Structure 1
Amino acid sequence: MDTWFSRLMAAPLPPPRPGAAAVALAGVHKVFVTGAGEFTALQEVNLQVAPGEFVAVVGKSGSGKSTLINMITGIDRPSGGEVWVAGTPVHTLTENQTAVWRGRTLGVVFQFFQLLPTLTALENVMLPMDFCHVYEKSARPERALALLELVGVSAQAGKLPATLSGGQQQRVAIARSLANDPPLLVADEPTGNLDSRTAAAVLALFQGLARAGKTIVMVTHDQDIARQSSRIITVAEGRVVPVGEGGGPA
């Protein structure tokens, strides 16, 4: 059926730059104008994430880490500087182009899962495919089931989210984030509502996805969780300070 959304998703995107970093920010700053005046959330941020890297972003509340993630996902635009993701200059895209790019390039995993309660686990995973038309309609159920198998919850395919545990819902959400085979996953406090055992299983899943070539940028407030990544980026007062491999000093 021809809908405004299907026409939107057919909008052309600029060709990606070959051989580019998964994420590259160059001289990015962000200034918000409030009733009390201007507030600088990011200051001249330069950052690169390599393809297949599993990066954790940490920082205190108000440090700028949420603004940084909003730059990467195209939710917000920089006041200056450049944002490149998977070779695409995100800072130059129109609103329509950003919607198309996000659907094809990003998988997002939320703290509160954000599964649609009236759809089964299988249907939730199929939803991004239905929106973006990356896969033929006949192939979507099989792919969704394969993704649920990948994350270990294929037995729950026909169940509604309310009947699943928190860990099972998060696994379904991860499967959904992989639906269109995006090169980049952004996870916002993905273990915040999970017990320690389930959180460890989710982190192991992320590590496996990174080994398979997915790039993962994870926001967390938990240093122990962050140390499970391959690199930690600390955000403080609008600036990023890279930390070395395994969480040690750079």
Structure 2
Amino acid sequence: MLAKWLSGLISTDLPQPRVTAAAVELVAVRKTYITEAGDFEALKGIHLQVTAGEFVAVVGKSGSGKSTLINMITGIDRPTDGEVWVAGMPVHMLTENQIAIWRGRTVGVVFQFFQLIPTLTVLENVMLPMDFCGMYDRTKRPERARKLLDLVGVGEQAHKLPANLSGGQQQRVAIARSLANDPPLLVADEPTGNLDSRTATAVIDLFKELAASGKTIVMVTHDNDLACRSGRIVTVYDGQIMTSQSAECDNYA
């Protein structure tokens, strides 16, 4: 039954992407949540462009709308109004099944709490997105997973369970997993929130290396010092983008 369901997802047709220089483009995006206390507008007409190979840090106070913003980019949530384009694909127009397979192939997501499956080995966790999306020959998936683990510096941990790794090592595994299907875009939501400063710096260094190799990275962080090590800082306040500027720490308030 599971195999049949996965097969149905894999065969879902996706629209032909448009040719664009922007890896991410949000056009007049609004998001309103309907609650018992009344309507709450989390995003208020956001316009944002991220070019391919750019490393962008999204900062803002709790409740400012930054997590809602990246949920638009990943297709985890849908805009009430406006358009969301990622790698030329109209994410706002996709069905739920289309979003599932599109996300697996196009976006690598890195979470604050790692979200590794505890009963699977590190190697199996990294292989999982390939299995889900039917990417790469089945016999070649273990080799690709090992290479990704080597890339992030935890290759020797391949056959351990996540619980036997440190927090920093688990986050590196999570990054390797996000790269499994070679997505053009990585989206990280507070990826260093549970790490010590030294390990957090190492994770940012890895993101910078990935951006230099052509990956587009959008990272939400509450840490302004880490944000300053990205290429551009986007500041979100009360559901709007207040500033968007080069990450020059001396000029960033």
Question: Are 1:166 and 2:167 an aligned pair?
Answer: yes
Q: Matches of 2:107 and 2:59 in 1, distance apart? A: 20
User: 1:179-213, CA deviations, whole angstroms, 9 ceiling, x for partnerless residues?
Assistant: 00001001011111111111111100000000000
Question: Are 1:8 and 2:9 an aligned pair?
Answer: yes
Unaligned runs of 5+ in 1: none
Task: Look up the match of 1:59.
Answer: 60
- Name segments (4+ residues, structure 1) moved above 2 Å: none
Structure 2 letter corresponding to 1:72: I
Structure 2 letter corresponding to 1:71: M
Task: Look up the match of 2:194.
Answer: 193
Written as runs of structure 1 = structure 2, the 5 A alignment for 1:85-234 is: 85-234=86-235
Q: Matches of 2:202 and 2:38 in 1, distance apart? A: 45
Unaligned runs of 5+ in 2: none
Structure 2 letter corresponding to 1:242: T
User: 1:138-169, CA deviations, whole angstroms, 9 ceiling, x for partnerless residues?
Assistant: 11000000000100110111111111111111
User: 1:87-123, CA deviations, whole angstroms, 9 ceiling, x for partnerless residues?
Assistant: 0000110111111111111101111111111111111
The answer to which of 172-181 and 27-36 deviates more is: 27-36
Identical columns (%): 69
User: 1:53-87, CA deviations, whole angstroms, 9 ceiling, x for partnerless residues?
Assistant: 01001111111111111111111111111100010
Structure 1 letter corresponding to 2:86: V
Q: Matches of 1:241 and 1:137 in 2, distance apart? A: 46
TM-score by length of 2: 0.96
How many Å apart are 1:241 and its aligned residue?
2.4
* 1:6 and 1:131 in contact (8 A); partners too: no
Q: Matches of 2:10 and 2:241 in 1, distance apart? A: 34
Written as runs of structure 1 = structure 2, the 5 A alignment for 1:42-81 is: 42-81=43-82
TM-score by length of 1: 0.97
CA RMSD of aligned residues (A): 1.3
